[in-house]
Amino acid sequence: MIIGGGPAGLEAAYNIAINGYKVTILEKDNEIGGNIKKWVKLFPDFGDAAEIRKAFADKVNKGNIEIQTGVEISELYSENEKWFAKNGNNVIYSADAALLATGFEAFDARRKEELGYGIYDNVITSVDFEEMYKTGKILTAQGTVPKRIAFLNCVGSRDEKVGNHYCSRVCCINAVKQATEFKELVPDAEAYCFYMDMRMAGQFYEELYRKSQEKYNVNYIRGRISEAAATFDKRIQIKSEDTLTGLPMKMTVDILVLMVGIESSASTTELSRQNGINGEYGFAKSLGLYISDNLTKKAGLFLAGSCKRPLTLPETVADSRAASVQILNYLKLN
d(CA 262, CA 206): 21
The site string for another protein over 228-247 (x = CB under 8 A, - otherwise) reads: -xxxx----x----------
248 lines the binding site for another protein (CB under 8 A): no
Please say which residue, 232 or 290, places its beta carbon nearer to another protein. 232
Closest distance between another protein and the C-beta of residue 240, in Å? Answer: 14
Q: How many CB atoms lie under 10 A from the CB of residue 92?
A: 11
142 lines the binding site for another protein (CB under 8 A): no
DSSP code, position 14: H
227 lines the binding site for another protein (CB under 8 A): yes
Strand, helix or coil for residue 297: coil
Closest distance between another protein and the C-beta of residue 178, in Å? Answer: 23
Please say which residue, 111 or 183, places its beta carbon nearer to another protein. 111
Contact assessment for residue 34 and residue 12, using Cβ atoms and an 8 Å cutoff: no
Q: Would you put residue 49 in left (φ > 0), alpha (ψ -120 to 50) or beta?
A: alpha
Closest distance between another protein and the C-beta of residue 191, in Å? Answer: 21
d(CA 242, CA 210): 20
Please say which residue, 155 or 313, places its beta carbon nearer to another protein. 155
Backbone torsions φ then ψ of 260, nearest 5 degrees: -75, 140
- Stretch (H or E) spanning 3: strand 2-3
Which range, of 110-118, 177-185, 186-194, 296-304, touches another protein by CB under 8 A? 110-118
Which among 13, 65, 69 has a CA at the least distance from the CA of 305? 13
Please say which residue, 110 or 297, places its beta carbon nearer to another protein. 110
Q: Of these, 110, 134, 137, 297, which contacts another protein (CB under 8 A)?
A: 110
290 lines the binding site for another protein (CB under 8 A): no
d(CA 33, CA 302): 20
Contacts of residues 204-212 at CB distance under 8 Å and 24 or more positions apart, as own/partner, are 204/44, 204/45, 205/43, 205/44, 205/172, 205/173, 205/176, 207/44, 208/43, 208/44, 208/173, 208/176, 208/177, 208/180, 209/173, 209/176, 211/180, 212/176, 212/179, 212/180, 212/183
Q: How many CB atoms lie under 10 A from the CB of residue 250?
A: 8
Closest distance between another protein and the C-beta of residue 233, in Å? Answer: 9
Closest distance between another protein and the C-beta of residue 231, in Å? Answer: 5
Closest distance between another protein and the C-beta of residue 252, in Å? Answer: 8
Which range, of 88-96, 227-235, 279-287, 317-325, touches another protein by CB under 8 A? 227-235
Please say which residue, 38 or 234, places its beta carbon nearer to another protein. 234
Closest distance between another protein and the C-beta of residue 117, in Å? Answer: 8
Closest distance between another protein and the C-beta of residue 122, in Å? Answer: 13
Please say which residue, 45 or 227, places its beta carbon nearer to another protein. 227
Q: Of these, 88, 118, 163, 248, which contacts another protein (CB under 8 A)?
A: 118
The sign of the torsion formed by the CA atoms of 176, 180, 186, 187 equals positive
**For binding to another protein (CB under 8 A), which residues are involved?**
110, 113-114, 118-119, 227, 229-232, 237
